[in-house]
Copies of this chain bind each other. A is one copy, B any other.
Amino acid sequence: MTDDRFWPRNFAALPEEYAAYDRARVVILPVPYDSTASGWVGSREGPRAIVDASEMMELYDIGIGSEPYRVGIHTLPELAFHAGGPEAMVDRIEEVVGELLDDGKFVVTLGGEHTVAVGAVRAHAKRTPALSVLAFDAHADLRDSYMGSPYSHACTLRRALESAPVIQVGLRSAEREEHGLIRERGLPFYSPQEFRAAGAESIADQLGDTVYITFDLDALDPSQVAAVGTPEPGGLLWDEVSELLATVASRRRIVGFDVTELAPSLGPRANAQLAAKLTYRIIGLALRE
């Protein structure tokens, strides 16, 4: 009994016609995991807050002039937490994302801490040989191990680098060793100022043909999203990110993405709405007919 007297509870509040798994091109995978968080905690509540906020979005995205939901978007229940440690959780994510990809879906992973991206990147990289990763992040995330684990959120891009080349945008926090690694290897990691100087097209052109986007919301300025565990002033603005995403989408093929690190209790609710709209925007850009 889910007729139009009811308001559906799924990403974008879609009716069954667009939300059923079988008819949906896109699958939303919520991963409420934050066990390695070293700053403020609470990103486990992020996926739910994003899905809840998405229910009041307009289905027409005036910013790109399309209705992304028409490809169908199925929202999975939340992936269960594994208490045994982050490696077991990353494995579970890789497994589930892999099954979804093998089933022909476009997978959107909602964190949770940035660590969840490791499983998603691996699943995509194994199935897409020449994958490039475009990372939005305030932090280098290049530690080889942190607080006793190579699967800490602080190691996310180091792990991702083992699967695919990574271009990062938003960098403004790193340890000396991480900064050394960036310079030594010439990693294309851009601070907001460097990104503005280079321009969106330059970033897009460095990416391979197929692109996975991993979006740690702390790449954005805290004025845009304060609700993250390790905020850093001096970040990216919504309009800048919108333009970069549109540029990448127009020149490359986006095959999957994640949006992570929203810790709703640490900022105003508007932050969840931004994350929902960002998610919907990237779906629209990636699967534009």
- Residues of A whose CB lies within 8 Å of any CB of B are 1-2, 4-9, 21, 34-36, 38-42, 44-45, 48, 52, 56-60, 62-63, 67, 76-86, 88, 92, 95-96, 99-100, 103, 139, 146-149, 151-152, 171-176, 179, 191, 193, 221-224, 226-228, 230-234, 238-239, 242, 265-271, 273-274, 277
* Residues of B with C-beta under 8 A to A231: 268-270, 273-274
- Decide if B239 touches A234 in the complex (CB within 8 Å): yes
Given pairs A6-B80, A223-B224, A231-B270, 16 additional interface contacts (CB within 8 A): A1-B103, A5-B80, A7-B81, A35-B35, A48-B52, A58-B139, A58-B175, A59-B175, A80-B147, A85-B85, A222-B224, A226-B269, A233-B270, A233-B273, A267-B270, A268-B268
CB distance from A90 to the nearest CB of B (A): 12
CB distance from A145 to the nearest CB of B (A): 9
- Decide if B52 touches A41 in the complex (CB within 8 Å): no
**Secondary structure of the A contact surface, majority rule:** loop
Across the interface, name the chain B residue whose C-beta is closest to A182. Answer: B62
Tell me the bound Cα distance from A180 to B255 in angstroms: 31
* Residues of B with C-beta under 8 A to A233: 224, 238, 270, 273-274, 277
CB distance from A47 to the nearest CB of B (A): 10
CB distance from A282 to the nearest CB of B (A): 14
CB distance from A240 to the nearest CB of B (A): 10
Tell me the bound Cα distance from A96 to B99 in angstroms: 39
- Decide if B44 touches A41 in the complex (CB within 8 Å): yes
Partner of A67, one of B1, B151, B176: B176
Given contacts A88-B148, A268-B226, A270-B267, contact A60 B176 (CB under 8 A): yes
Q: Which of A139, A172, A174, A232 has the most CB of B within 10 A?
A: A232
